[in-house]
Amino acid sequence: MIVKTPAVRSSATRCLLALPLAFACTVAAMPAQAQQSVEDFYKGKQMRFVIRSAGGGGYDLYSRLIAAHIVRHIPGNPTIVPQNMPGAGGIIAANYMGEIAPKDGTHLTMISQALAMDQSLGLTPTFKADLRTFAWIGNLGDSNILTYTYHTSPTKTMEDAKKRETTMGATGAGSATTWLPIVYNRLLGTQFKLIQGYKSGSAVKLAMERGEVEGYAANPWAALVSASPDLIKNKQLNILTQVGLDKEDDLPNVPLLSELATDKDSKDILTWISTAMAVGRPIGTTPGVPADRVAALRKAFNDTVKDPVFLAAAAKVDAEIKPIDGVKLQAMIDSVMSSPQSLKDKVKAIMPDRE
């Protein structure tokens, strides 16, 4: 008797017969994926360096500087395209990196100096990205933050700022330009008045020179020297204070913010703020990047800051380079995030509300 094979098998039978083939294909594909080297991954890639501000300021200058040179040290020699993404004091760029950008090591950024502190205190509800999950690859320097007025302003010192209303230009909510003057007012008794909405630090400085505002509350010394050297050379600024752990070598007579404290509580608060700001302008990549690519990016950063070609390019634009490696930077950010809650509560109490 001849038994005919059914022309159509059941769906269950077809699935069972297909399983061995599917499994074999999966197993065959796994070694190829696992064996892809960092060099193979980056070869031919076009990376992005997300810049948290508009063009022309210190963030733009330093971001483009490192982007132009780090590619020579990344295995596979990819290209990098700078992409300005200004807004909300750097929060738009940080949120993009944390929540939207590919999590594969093809995107880099330099975040705002105050964002680690901002997130540690929970100040800005619209700041959604978690900086603890970023992979930090290095920092070009921990330059002190300066608060200054233009030479035409009657406010020459912080004591003067306690006696008269002084207008200060500011950018977005996540920027120190918007909250440092409020901290000064609440803790030290100054009378700074914020004029907000400028797109970048360079726009604030231009407004200051035009007489729209009298000063700028949060400009890193290194960025000021590189982006606006004439203001220093021509002695056109009254530098009121510097925020950092140690004085800049070139500013021995400008008081540290912590030195302006009037009691223990204010000393503790101002010291914590100064420590948090010492994180500087961290350079990092997105969360979720494989460890071998993070290690390669950190090595690329370390090699770049020793590269004579890079150092010559930095010197040409008066960019101060005092690098911090990625491992140390990661530890610094983690330390700010894990500060005692009692101290963070004191700091938060004198901060302005955010939206």
CB atoms within 10 A of CB 67: 22
Question: Is 33 inside a domain boundary?
Answer: no
Rounded CA separation 151/339 (Å):
38
- Regarding whether 328 and 286 lie in a shared domain, the answer is yes
Helices 264-277 and 341-349, packing angle to 10 deg? 100
Strands 135-139 and 283-285: antiparallel
Residues 110, 192 within the same domain: no
Point out the domain boundary residue: 247, 277, 307: 277
Written as tens digits, the pLDDT of the chain (355 aa) is 444 444 444 444 444 444 444 444 444 444 444 568 999 999 999 999 999 998 888 889 999 999 999 999 999 989 999 999 998 888 999 999 999 999 999 999 999 878 898 899 998 889 999 999 999 999 998 789 999 999 999 999 999 999 999 999 998 766 788 889 999 999 999 999 999 988 888 899 999 999 999 999 999 898 898 889 999 999 999 999 999 989 999 999 999 999 999 999 999 999 999 988 888 889 999 999 999 999 999 999 999 999 999 999 999 988 889 899 999 999 989 988 999 999 999 999 998 876 5
Whether residue 110 is contained in a domain is answered as yes
Nearest to 63 by CA among 134, 14, 10, 55: 55
58 found inside a domain: yes
| Rounded-to-integer distance, Cα 232 and Cα 222, Å | 11
Which tokens is 186 given? Answer: 């609440």
Beta strands in the chain, from DSSP E residues, in sequence order: 46-51, 79-84, 107-110, 135-139, 145-150, 166-169, 192-195, 215-220, 237-243, 283-285, 324-325
Extended beta strands in 69-214, E state: 79-84, 107-110, 135-139, 145-150, 166-169, 192-195
The pLDDT value given to residue 31: 43
Looking at the structure, tell me whether residues 218 and 294 fall in a common domain: no
**What is the DSSP annotation of 221-250?**
HHHHHHH-HHHHHTT-EEEEEEESSS--TT
- Specify if 320 maps to a domain: yes
Phi (first) and psi of residue 107, to 5 degrees = -120, 130
Beta strand extents in 229-326 (DSSP E only) = 237-243, 283-285, 324-325
Give the distance, in angstroms, between the CA of residue 148 and the centroid of all CA atoms in the same chain: 22
CA 28 remoteness from chain centre: 42
Taking the C-alpha atoms of residue 171 and residue 177, their distance in angstroms, rounded to an integer, is: 6
Same domain, 210 and 316: no
Q: Could you tell me if 283 and 273 lie in one domain?
A: no
Domain total of the chain: 2
20 domain-assigned: no
Question: Quick one: how far is CA 67 from the chain centroid?
Answer: 14
Structural domain harbouring 239: 145-277
Measured CA to CA in angstroms, residue 89 lies from 55, 205, 279, 324 at distances of: 14, 16, 17, 23
260 and 150 in one domain? yes
Side-by-side strand order, sheet with 192-195:
192-195, 166-169, 215-220, 145-150, 237-243
Residues 132 and 88 in one domain: yes
What is the rounded (10 degree) CA torsion for 52, 57, 62, 64?
70
- Do 138 and 116 reside in the same domain of the chain? yes
Instruction: Assign residue 165 the CATH number of its domain.
Output: 3.40.190.10
Residues in the chain: 355
pLDDT of amino acid 294: 98
Task: Look at residue 168 and tell me if it is in a domain.
Answer: yes
Cα–Cα distance measured from residue 202 to residue 57, given in angstroms and rounded to the nearest whole number? 5
CA distance 238 to 123: 30
Domain boundary among 277, 293, 317: 277
Of the residues 231, 254, 277, the one at which a domain ends:
277
251 and 319 fall within a common domain: no
Neighbour tally for 79: CB within 10 Å: 12
Specify the amino acid at residue 242. Q
Would 181 be classed as within a structural domain? yes
298 and 338 housed in the same domain? yes
Q: Are residues 268 and 153 in the same domain?
A: yes
Task: Specify the CATH number for the domain of residue 48.
Answer: 3.40.190.150
Is residue 115 included in any domain, yes or no?
yes
Q: Tell me: do 154 and 107 sit in the same domain.
A: no
Amino acid making up residue 277: M
